[in-house]
Amino acid sequence: MTSADNNDANAVLSPEAQVTITGRNVEVPEHFQERVNAKLAKIEKLDPTLNFFHVELKHEPNPRREAQAQRIQITATGKGHLARAEAKEDSFYAALESAIGKLERSLRKVKVRREISRSGHRAPKSTGQIAAELEAQAREARTSAGGQFDVDPYADQIEDVQPGQVVRRKEHPATPMSVDDALSEMELVGHDFYLFINSETNRPSVVYRRHAFDYGLISLVETDDDA
């Protein structure tokens, strides 16, 4: 191997998209930023329209859930859409691997769904089979991942936590869409459900995950006041 090959092998991968990495009550060391960039460079290849990544690290102290005290949320913004994944683990390195795995599975599933939609043909495999294979691939990637910095450098931070409060409110545009598009949006944001206006019925509806990688659909209907 030549010296040029060595330099290429040692080069730190970085996505072409803009990346911001922030820490809430924690400092983000340079070597962790390099690890994040290397992971995002691979994620970027799944969707060339992605142009911005925001990665947020936060320590969430809870004596009863120390194994999930370190939280990472990744938001990827593309042309007309965004994808989001969040994970809580006992270290930021483990949380990063978990969040990257979720984001990768979401983008791959949406990519397959779009390819099937464009081709106008049924998938040669069921959605459940595809999802199961992606889960196995991500698990294998996390198992093989490792490095000299796989030790969590963050000290615990103490915050006051008051449970049972409404801590976040969100409003989204009620743009009518098909059930298939709603499933794609749900996968992109990494949620277990997605609220939308069904373009076929013009009614508020919710798609959600079921067991064995299947989905469910809930729709609102008008009641008979005379009943």
Q: How far apart are CA 188 and CA 208, in angstroms?
A: 13
Q: Please give the pLDDT value at position 21.
A: 93
Contact between 55 and 38 under an 8 Å Cβ cutoff? The reply is no
pLDDT of residue 55: 94
Q: Which pLDDT value is given to residue 97?
A: 92
- 47-50 contacts at long range (C-beta below 8 A, 24 or more positions apart): 47/76, 47/78, 47/83, 47/107, 47/111, 49/78, 49/79, 49/81, 50/15, 50/17, 50/76, 50/77, 50/78, 50/83
Q: Looking at residue 133, what DSSP letter applies? A: H
Ranges of residues in the chain with a pLDDT under 70 are 1-12, 62-67, 114, 116-165, 167, 190, 211-213, 224-227
For position 109, what pLDDT does the model report? 80
- What domains lie within the chain, and their CATH numbers? 18-119 (3.30.160.100), 176-219 (3.30.505.50)
Quote the pLDDT of residue 212: 56
Q: Is the pTM of this model over 0.75?
A: no
Tell me which residue has tokens 């990063």: 96
What's residue 159's pLDDT? 46
